[in-house]
A = this chain, B = another copy of it.
Amino acid sequence: MHMLKVAILGYGNIGRAAEQAINAAPDMELAGIYHHNDCLECISGNIDVMLLCTPTREVPKFAATMAARGICTVDSFDIHGQIPQLRAQMEPVCRANKTVSIISAGWDPGTDSMVRALLQAMAPKGLTYTNFGPGRSMGHTVAAKAIAGVQNALSMTIPLGTGIHRRMVYVELEDGADFKTVEANLLKDDYFAHDETHVVQVESVDALNNVAHGVNLVRSGVSGETHNQRFEFNMEINNPALTGQVMVSCARAAVRMKERGQYGCKTMIELAPVDLLPGTIEENVKALV
C-alpha cells in the first residue's frame, strides 16, 4: 500500500490529536511536525499533505504558502462568516498549482456542515437548529479573560434548544478585584450581552478544565409534499481529538481528489464520505452501504 506522507504545522491540542490519528491510520505516515516559525520554503517536498494546526487566524497565510508549492493542505478554519472568502481566495491558487486545499475541516464547520447539507437534501423545506455544548467556547473564554480584574476564565456554552445558548462563565479573580464589578462589565461585553449569561466566581479555573463538547442538531422539514419529517444528530465528544481525526481523514480525501484532477479549495460539503476512509471504494461500499 502507498503510505500517505502527512505533516503537521503547529503542535497544540489539535496538532497532538492529529499526530495520534496519523499514527492510528493504516495508510499514513507522519512526515514531520513543524512550528509556525519554521522556514516553510525549506520543508522537504516529500510531503503529500500538510495539516494546518495553527491558530485559525494564521491559516489563510500558511494555506496559500503551501498551495503555491503544490502541497495539499487541510485546516480547521472556524470563523464561519469568513469561510466563503477564504475559499474564493484559495480556489485560484489551488487550481494554478494543481493541488487541493480542504478548509474548515473540523466538526463545526466540518462534519456538522455535511450533516446539515444531507438533511437539507432529505427535507428541502424546514428549519435546522444546531445546538452546541455543553462545552467550552474558545471565543467567549478569550473575551472573558480580557475583562479587567479577571485572572483566568472559562466560558461554557449550554444548549437551550432552537439554537439558543446559555453562557456559564467561571472566573478566577486577580487579587483585589471586585466580583460585582467584574460581573457587571462582563455582562455588558458584546460577546455576552445578547445571551442569557451567568457569572460564577471560582478559586481555580484550571480545576474545571475539560475538553468535552457536544452537538444536538435537529431538523423538522418537508420531503416533497410530506411534512413532519424529523431528524436529529447528536454527539458527545473530546473536542481536539475529533478535530484532529477529521483533519486526518480529510488529508486522505485531499490526496485522492488531487490524484483525480479535482483541483481546488473544498469545504467538507464538497467531499464524498468514502474519500475520507482508508481502503478501496469497493471495500467501503460492501461494508457501509
Contacts and interface: CB of A to CB of B under 8 A. Distances in A.
Interface of A: 17-21, 23-25, 80, 83-84, 87-88, 104, 107, 109, 111, 113-118, 120-125, 222-226, 228-238, 241-242, 244-246, 248-249, 267-274, 276-278, 281-282, 284-286, 288-289
A223 B238 contact: yes
B238 A226 contact: yes
A268 B111 CA distance: 16
A233 B230 contact: no
Nearest to A223: B245
Given A124-B249, A231-B233, 11 more contacts: A20-B224, A20-B226, A24-B125, A226-B238, A228-B238, A229-B235, A229-B237, A233-B234, A267-B289, A270-B285, A272-B272
Contacts of A285: 83-84, 87, 267, 269-270
A124 to B, nearest CB: 7
A149 B233 CA distance: 44
Contact of A113 (B248, B269, B288): B288
